[in-house]
Amino acid sequence: MGDENEIVCVTGAGGYQASWLVKLLLLRGYKVHGTVRDLSDEKNAFLKTLENAAENLQLFKVDLLDFDGLLKAIDGCSGVFHVACHVPSSTIHNPEGFNLGLKYCILGRDDSTCCGGYVQCAKGMFRRQSEEGGDGVIYFAKVKRVFSWINWYSYAKTAAEFQAFEYAKAHGLDLVSVCPSLIIGPLLQHKMNTSTLLLLNFTRDGVEAVENNDWMVVDVRDVAEALLLVYKKPKAQGRILEQGVICKFSSEKLQKLGWRYRALETSIVDSIEDFYEKGLLDKMRHI
Protein backbone atom coordinates (compact mmCIF):
# COMPACT_ATOMS: atom_id res chain seq x y z
CA MET A 1 0.00 0.00 0.00
CA GLY A 2 1.09 3.53 -0.67
CA ASP A 3 1.79 5.95 2.14
CA GLU A 4 -1.48 7.72 2.90
CA ASN A 5 0.31 11.04 2.48
CA GLU A 6 2.18 10.06 -0.69
CA ILE A 7 1.10 11.98 -3.77
CA VAL A 8 2.16 10.99 -7.28
CA CYS A 9 1.46 12.60 -10.64
CA VAL A 10 0.31 10.73 -13.77
CA THR A 11 0.43 12.61 -17.07
CA GLY A 12 -2.26 11.90 -19.66
CA ALA A 13 -4.45 10.32 -16.98
CA GLY A 14 -7.41 9.80 -19.32
CA GLY A 15 -5.44 7.67 -21.76
CA TYR A 16 -5.59 3.91 -22.29
CA GLN A 17 -2.45 2.99 -20.34
CA ALA A 18 -2.43 5.89 -17.89
CA SER A 19 -6.01 5.26 -16.73
CA TRP A 20 -5.12 1.71 -15.69
CA LEU A 21 -2.14 3.10 -13.78
CA VAL A 22 -4.38 5.66 -12.06
CA LYS A 23 -6.81 2.87 -11.12
CA LEU A 24 -3.98 0.76 -9.67
CA LEU A 25 -2.46 3.65 -7.72
CA LEU A 26 -5.82 4.54 -6.18
CA LEU A 27 -6.41 0.92 -5.19
CA ARG A 28 -2.96 0.81 -3.56
CA GLY A 29 -3.68 3.87 -1.42
CA TYR A 30 -1.87 6.61 -3.32
CA LYS A 31 -3.18 10.12 -3.85
CA VAL A 32 -3.00 10.95 -7.54
CA HIS A 33 -2.60 14.17 -9.47
CA GLY A 34 -3.76 13.37 -13.00
CA THR A 35 -3.17 15.66 -15.96
CA VAL A 36 -5.70 15.94 -18.80
CA ARG A 37 -5.92 18.37 -21.68
CA ASP A 38 -9.55 19.36 -21.01
CA LEU A 39 -11.28 19.06 -17.65
CA SER A 40 -14.71 19.49 -19.25
CA ASP A 41 -14.20 16.73 -21.83
CA GLU A 42 -16.68 13.92 -21.16
CA LYS A 43 -14.13 11.31 -22.25
CA ASN A 44 -12.33 11.89 -18.92
CA ALA A 45 -15.46 11.56 -16.77
CA PHE A 46 -14.84 7.84 -16.15
CA LEU A 47 -11.80 8.70 -14.03
CA LYS A 48 -14.05 10.10 -11.32
CA THR A 49 -15.90 6.78 -11.11
CA LEU A 50 -12.78 4.79 -10.21
CA GLU A 51 -12.60 3.34 -6.70
CA ASN A 52 -11.20 5.88 -4.19
CA ALA A 53 -11.20 8.60 -6.88
CA ALA A 54 -13.59 10.85 -4.97
CA GLU A 55 -11.12 11.19 -2.10
CA ASN A 56 -7.73 10.67 -3.71
CA LEU A 57 -7.83 11.80 -7.35
CA GLN A 58 -7.33 15.40 -8.39
CA LEU A 59 -7.35 16.31 -12.08
CA PHE A 60 -5.40 19.22 -13.57
CA LYS A 61 -5.85 20.84 -16.98
CA VAL A 62 -2.37 20.61 -18.49
CA ASP A 63 -0.82 20.81 -21.92
CA LEU A 64 2.54 19.07 -21.85
CA LEU A 65 4.17 22.20 -23.26
CA ASP A 66 2.62 24.38 -20.54
CA PHE A 67 5.32 24.88 -17.90
CA ASP A 68 3.04 26.60 -15.38
CA GLY A 69 0.36 23.93 -15.74
CA LEU A 70 2.89 21.19 -15.07
CA LEU A 71 4.13 23.15 -12.05
CA LYS A 72 0.71 23.01 -10.42
CA ALA A 73 0.18 19.32 -11.17
CA ILE A 74 3.61 18.12 -10.01
CA ASP A 75 4.04 20.42 -7.00
CA GLY A 76 4.13 18.39 -3.79
CA CYS A 77 4.40 15.01 -5.52
CA SER A 78 6.94 12.40 -4.45
CA GLY A 79 7.05 10.91 -7.94
CA VAL A 80 5.93 11.41 -11.53
CA PHE A 81 4.66 8.81 -14.00
CA HIS A 82 5.11 10.43 -17.39
CA VAL A 83 2.81 8.33 -19.58
CA ALA A 84 1.50 10.97 -21.98
CA CYS A 85 3.19 11.78 -25.26
CA HIS A 86 2.59 15.17 -26.84
CA VAL A 87 1.64 14.84 -30.52
CA PRO A 88 1.35 18.40 -31.89
CA SER A 89 -0.97 18.98 -34.83
CA SER A 90 1.46 21.44 -36.37
CA THR A 91 5.11 22.46 -36.27
CA ILE A 92 6.60 23.17 -32.84
CA HIS A 93 7.73 26.77 -33.16
CA ASN A 94 9.52 26.82 -29.81
CA PRO A 95 11.56 23.62 -29.48
CA GLU A 96 13.37 24.97 -26.41
CA GLY A 97 10.01 25.36 -24.72
CA PHE A 98 9.24 21.76 -25.62
CA ASN A 99 12.52 20.65 -24.02
CA LEU A 100 11.78 22.67 -20.90
CA GLY A 101 8.41 20.95 -20.59
CA LEU A 102 10.09 17.55 -20.77
CA LYS A 103 12.74 18.57 -18.25
CA TYR A 104 10.11 19.88 -15.88
CA CYS A 105 8.21 16.60 -16.00
CA ILE A 106 11.39 15.05 -14.60
CA LEU A 107 12.49 17.66 -12.11
CA GLY A 108 9.17 18.99 -10.88
CA ARG A 109 10.63 22.37 -9.92
CA ASP A 110 14.13 23.76 -10.42
CA ASP A 111 14.37 25.14 -6.87
CA SER A 112 12.97 22.08 -5.12
CA THR A 113 13.40 18.34 -4.69
CA CYS A 114 9.68 17.63 -4.58
CA CYS A 115 10.01 14.70 -6.98
CA GLY A 116 11.91 11.76 -5.55
CA GLY A 117 11.25 9.40 -8.45
CA TYR A 118 10.35 9.62 -12.11
CA VAL A 119 9.01 6.81 -14.30
CA GLN A 120 8.60 7.30 -18.02
CA CYS A 121 6.39 5.00 -20.09
CA ALA A 122 8.23 5.13 -23.41
CA LYS A 123 5.70 3.57 -25.74
CA GLY A 124 6.78 3.08 -29.34
CA MET A 125 10.30 1.67 -29.18
CA PHE A 126 12.29 2.70 -32.24
CA ARG A 127 13.29 -0.30 -34.30
CA ARG A 128 16.03 0.48 -36.78
CA GLN A 129 15.95 -0.94 -40.28
CA SER A 130 18.98 -1.24 -42.52
CA GLU A 131 19.15 0.62 -45.80
CA GLU A 132 18.29 -2.69 -47.48
CA GLY A 133 15.09 -2.86 -45.47
CA GLY A 134 16.03 -5.76 -43.19
CA ASP A 135 15.29 -5.82 -39.49
CA GLY A 136 17.89 -4.43 -37.13
CA VAL A 137 18.25 -4.18 -33.39
CA ILE A 138 16.65 -1.97 -30.79
CA TYR A 139 18.05 1.40 -31.65
CA PHE A 140 18.93 3.70 -28.79
CA ALA A 141 21.49 6.11 -30.20
CA LYS A 142 21.49 9.51 -31.81
CA VAL A 143 20.29 9.10 -35.37
CA LYS A 144 21.09 10.98 -38.56
CA ARG A 145 19.11 9.43 -41.37
CA VAL A 146 15.95 9.89 -43.42
CA PHE A 147 12.79 8.33 -41.96
CA SER A 148 9.56 7.24 -43.55
CA TRP A 149 6.34 8.58 -42.03
CA ILE A 150 5.83 5.40 -39.96
CA ASN A 151 9.02 6.08 -37.95
CA TRP A 152 8.25 9.46 -36.47
CA TYR A 153 6.10 8.60 -33.45
CA SER A 154 8.48 5.91 -32.25
CA TYR A 155 11.50 8.10 -32.93
CA ALA A 156 9.93 10.96 -30.97
CA LYS A 157 9.50 8.69 -27.96
CA THR A 158 13.11 7.51 -28.23
CA ALA A 159 14.38 11.08 -28.58
CA ALA A 160 12.38 12.03 -25.48
CA GLU A 161 14.10 9.20 -23.61
CA PHE A 162 17.49 10.60 -24.57
CA GLN A 163 16.53 14.05 -23.33
CA ALA A 164 15.20 12.60 -20.07
CA PHE A 165 18.20 10.41 -19.29
CA GLU A 166 20.72 13.12 -20.16
CA TYR A 167 18.93 15.64 -17.94
CA ALA A 168 18.48 13.14 -15.09
CA LYS A 169 22.16 12.17 -15.20
CA ALA A 170 23.29 15.80 -15.19
CA HIS A 171 21.12 16.63 -12.17
CA GLY A 172 21.42 13.40 -10.16
CA LEU A 173 17.77 12.45 -10.55
CA ASP A 174 16.23 8.98 -10.17
CA LEU A 175 14.76 8.02 -13.57
CA VAL A 176 13.45 4.70 -14.90
CA SER A 177 12.04 4.23 -18.40
CA VAL A 178 9.64 1.36 -19.10
CA CYS A 179 9.33 0.40 -22.77
CA PRO A 180 6.24 -1.74 -23.43
CA SER A 181 5.58 -3.47 -26.73
CA LEU A 182 2.11 -3.49 -28.36
CA ILE A 183 -0.39 -3.00 -25.52
CA ILE A 184 -3.70 -4.86 -25.53
CA GLY A 185 -6.34 -5.62 -22.92
CA PRO A 186 -9.65 -4.19 -21.64
CA LEU A 187 -10.45 -0.49 -21.88
CA LEU A 188 -11.35 1.74 -18.96
CA GLN A 189 -12.09 4.74 -21.16
CA HIS A 190 -14.73 4.76 -23.90
CA LYS A 191 -12.50 6.04 -26.70
CA MET A 192 -10.62 3.42 -28.70
CA ASN A 193 -6.86 3.74 -28.90
CA THR A 194 -4.63 2.55 -31.75
CA SER A 195 -3.59 -0.84 -30.37
CA THR A 196 -7.07 -1.92 -29.22
CA LEU A 197 -8.55 -0.69 -32.50
CA LEU A 198 -6.10 -2.95 -34.31
CA LEU A 199 -7.34 -5.97 -32.36
CA LEU A 200 -10.99 -4.92 -32.76
CA ASN A 201 -10.69 -4.56 -36.53
CA PHE A 202 -8.91 -7.89 -36.77
CA THR A 203 -11.66 -9.58 -34.74
CA ARG A 204 -14.60 -7.83 -36.36
CA ASP A 205 -13.55 -7.70 -40.00
CA GLY A 206 -10.81 -10.30 -40.31
CA VAL A 207 -7.92 -10.05 -42.75
CA GLU A 208 -6.98 -11.92 -45.90
CA ALA A 209 -3.37 -12.28 -44.82
CA VAL A 210 -1.02 -11.23 -42.03
CA GLU A 211 2.67 -10.45 -42.08
CA ASN A 212 4.88 -13.41 -41.17
CA ASN A 213 6.64 -11.63 -38.34
CA ASP A 214 6.88 -11.53 -34.55
CA TRP A 215 4.07 -9.75 -32.71
CA MET A 216 5.36 -8.33 -29.43
CA VAL A 217 2.45 -7.77 -27.04
CA VAL A 218 1.82 -7.06 -23.37
CA ASP A 219 -1.32 -6.61 -21.27
CA VAL A 220 -2.28 -3.06 -20.27
CA ARG A 221 -2.83 -4.21 -16.67
CA ASP A 222 0.64 -5.77 -16.54
CA VAL A 223 2.20 -2.53 -17.79
CA ALA A 224 0.47 -0.63 -14.97
CA GLU A 225 1.88 -3.13 -12.46
CA ALA A 226 5.34 -2.77 -13.99
CA LEU A 227 5.25 1.03 -13.81
CA LEU A 228 4.36 0.95 -10.12
CA LEU A 229 6.87 -1.83 -9.44
CA VAL A 230 9.86 0.07 -10.82
CA TYR A 231 8.75 3.18 -8.94
CA LYS A 232 8.74 1.31 -5.63
CA LYS A 233 11.97 -0.68 -6.18
CA PRO A 234 15.15 1.35 -5.47
CA LYS A 235 17.24 -1.11 -7.50
CA ALA A 236 15.19 -0.49 -10.65
CA GLN A 237 17.12 1.79 -12.95
CA GLY A 238 17.73 2.67 -16.57
CA ARG A 239 15.75 1.39 -19.52
CA ILE A 240 13.38 -1.58 -19.12
CA LEU A 241 11.84 -3.41 -22.09
CA GLU A 242 8.45 -4.95 -21.48
CA GLN A 243 6.74 -7.69 -23.46
CA GLY A 244 5.01 -10.89 -22.49
CA VAL A 245 5.70 -13.35 -25.31
CA ILE A 246 8.80 -14.80 -26.94
CA CYS A 247 10.45 -12.29 -29.27
CA LYS A 248 13.71 -10.46 -29.87
CA PHE A 249 13.37 -8.31 -26.75
CA SER A 250 13.89 -9.28 -23.12
CA SER A 251 11.89 -8.51 -19.97
CA GLU A 252 14.61 -9.94 -17.73
CA LYS A 253 15.09 -6.71 -15.78
CA LEU A 254 11.42 -6.56 -14.81
CA GLN A 255 11.14 -10.25 -14.03
CA LYS A 256 14.10 -9.98 -11.64
CA LEU A 257 12.11 -7.30 -9.80
CA GLY A 258 9.21 -9.73 -9.41
CA TRP A 259 7.05 -8.74 -12.41
CA ARG A 260 4.87 -11.47 -13.95
CA TYR A 261 2.82 -11.14 -17.12
CA ARG A 262 -0.54 -12.57 -18.17
CA ALA A 263 -0.80 -15.24 -20.84
CA LEU A 264 -1.45 -13.87 -24.34
CA GLU A 265 -4.69 -15.86 -24.51
CA THR A 266 -5.95 -14.13 -21.35
CA SER A 267 -5.25 -10.67 -22.76
CA ILE A 268 -7.00 -11.42 -26.05
CA VAL A 269 -10.05 -13.06 -24.45
CA ASP A 270 -10.42 -10.24 -21.90
CA SER A 271 -10.11 -7.67 -24.70
CA ILE A 272 -12.79 -9.29 -26.86
CA GLU A 273 -15.17 -9.73 -23.92
CA ASP A 274 -14.67 -6.04 -23.17
CA PHE A 275 -15.49 -5.20 -26.81
CA TYR A 276 -18.76 -7.14 -26.44
CA GLU A 277 -19.66 -5.38 -23.20
CA LYS A 278 -19.08 -1.99 -24.80
CA GLY A 279 -21.20 -2.89 -27.82
CA LEU A 280 -18.28 -2.80 -30.22
CA LEU A 281 -18.86 -6.37 -31.42
CA ASP A 282 -22.05 -8.24 -32.25
CA LYS A 283 -21.70 -11.27 -30.00
CA MET A 284 -23.99 -13.49 -32.07
CA ARG A 285 -21.86 -12.97 -35.17
CA HIS A 286 -18.85 -14.55 -33.52
CA ILE A 287 -20.38 -17.56 -31.76
The per-residue b/e assignment along 50-82, b for 16 or more CB within 10 angstroms, e otherwise, is: bebbeebbebbebebbbeebbeebbbebbbbbb
Please give the backbone phi and psi of residue 164, each rounded to the nearest 5 degrees, phi first: -65, -45
- Strand ranges in the chain using DSSP code E only, listed in sequence order: 7-10, 31-36, 57-61, 79-82, 117-121, 127-129, 135-138, 175-180, 182-184, 217-219, 238-242
Smallest CA-to-CA distance from 226 within 254, 190, 191 is with 254
Residue closest to 189 by CA, chosen among 54, 40, 20, 55: 20
Q: Are 2 and 30 in contact (CB under 8 A)?
A: yes
Distance CA 11, CA 35 (A): 5
Which of 106, 49, 47 lies closest to 81, judged by CA?
106
Q: Using CA atoms, how far apart are residues 132 and 129, in angstroms rounded to an integer?
A: 8
| Catalytic machinery residues | 157
Torsion of CA 241, 243, 245, 249, to 10 degrees: -20
